[in-house]
Structure 1
Amino acid sequence: MAVYPPVAAREDLLRRLPSGARLTRPAKWHVTLAFLGELSRGTDEVADTLATVPAPPAFPLRLSGGGRFGSVVWAGLTGNRKALTSLRESVRLALDNAGFPIDPRPFRPHLTVSYRAEPGVLPALESYTGPSWPVTSFALVESVLGNYHTLHEWPLPTSPTT
């Protein structure tokens, strides 16, 4: 399950990173809400479960700062992280109640930029603050041969000010 920043937010980040750096493909840049791994049951059952998640109102986020997990370099998030964490917890609870175990590591919202400690990437992220964008949906995503495919997407209600 993932939240995707809009193209404009991904392009802004890409422009700030060193050219020539080995990055993950910007089309794949997302914030993971929950990771299931290989499923013993079908994705339709997962989708049915996720359809029961209460949809919070859309909320703002922005890519800002960065850090590392070992050699993985990531962009951080600011904005309404409380709403993001609440959405993640609703997703986790629904999946857990339906018998779909997710990765048990603590939720640390981030967007993976590179799987290598590329020179210049981390310093560029440390001073980066991107444009704000509204989270208007979350998606069930499948990885096939390194490419991500959105299987289902659930919209979040928007208000006139979102």
Structure 2
Amino acid sequence: MDTARLFLALWPDEAIRAHLARAQATLPWPAGARPTLAENLHATLHFIGAVPSDRLVALIPALAVPPRRIELQLDRLELWPNGIAAWVPGTTPAALRALHGELEERLRDLQLPVEARPYRPHVTLARRATGLDSRTPGALPPLQWHCDGHALVESAAGRYRVLHRYDA
């Protein structure tokens, strides 16, 4: 059976993507770090996993929720377990929590998996970044990201492809 590996995300426009990539390039990555490809930078809402490709036709409209204006300020660099360098907001905006929750309900209705761990919005800047000093003052200046929707994205062979954008 043919499947697609899917996730839902806040997908940056070209200006935000360029800002993310410039900020990523300023960091002193340790040897062996694997920075995320610029075209793959995003903030995951829900990882769905492998879904039979024939479900996509029904899945795309089912994941449409009323768009919300989200003001996300990425203002902290954190080093997570397994060497993940994450750019995170100090607080999660109420509109983002609402979008995440509504999409979770849709995924449950569709009998698709939902992660049990609490949602932590972030942009993964690199993997295998153990040794990066995330406490360096001003390591990354804050980024104000205005989001007007979300995207359904397919992951294949290390590349991401937007299947559908749900914008205002």
Q: TM-score, normalised by structure 1?
A: 0.81
Match 1:66 to one of 77, 87, 90: 77
- The match for 2:9 is 2
Contact kept in structure 1, 2:29 and 2:132, CA below 8 Å: no
Gaps of 5+ in 1: 157-162
- The match for 1:145 is 157
Distance 2:112 2:138 in 1: 36
- The match for 1:17 is 27
- Displacement, 1:99? 1.5
CA RMSD of the aligned region, Å? 2.4
- Displacement, 1:78? 4.5
Distance 1:23 1:118 in 2: 12
- Displacement, 1:23? 0.8
Distance 2:153 2:133 in 1: 27
Gaps of 5+ in 2: 1-7
- Within the alignment, does 1:34 sit opposite 2:46 as a pair? yes
Q: Tell me the secondary structure at the aligned position of residue 118 of structure 2.
A: coil
The alignment-based identity, stated in percent, is 27
Contact kept in structure 1, 2:17 and 2:41, CA below 8 Å: no
Instruction: Detail structure 1 runs of 4+ shifted over 6 Å in the superposition.
Output: none
Alpha carbons of 1:154 and 1:37: their partners in 2 closer, same or farther (altered >3 Å)?
Answer: same
Contact kept in structure 2, 1:139 and 1:154, CA below 8 Å: yes
Alpha carbons of 1:26 and 1:121: their partners in 2 closer, same or farther (altered >3 Å)?
Answer: farther
- The match for 1:160 is none
Q: Which amino acid counterpart does residue 25 of structure 1 have in structure 2?
A: L
Q: TM-score, normalised by structure 2?
A: 0.79
- Within the alignment, does 1:108 sit opposite 2:120 as a pair? yes
Distance 2:115 2:57 in 1: 20
- Displacement, 1:103? 2.4
- Within the alignment, does 1:133 sit opposite 2:142 as a pair? no
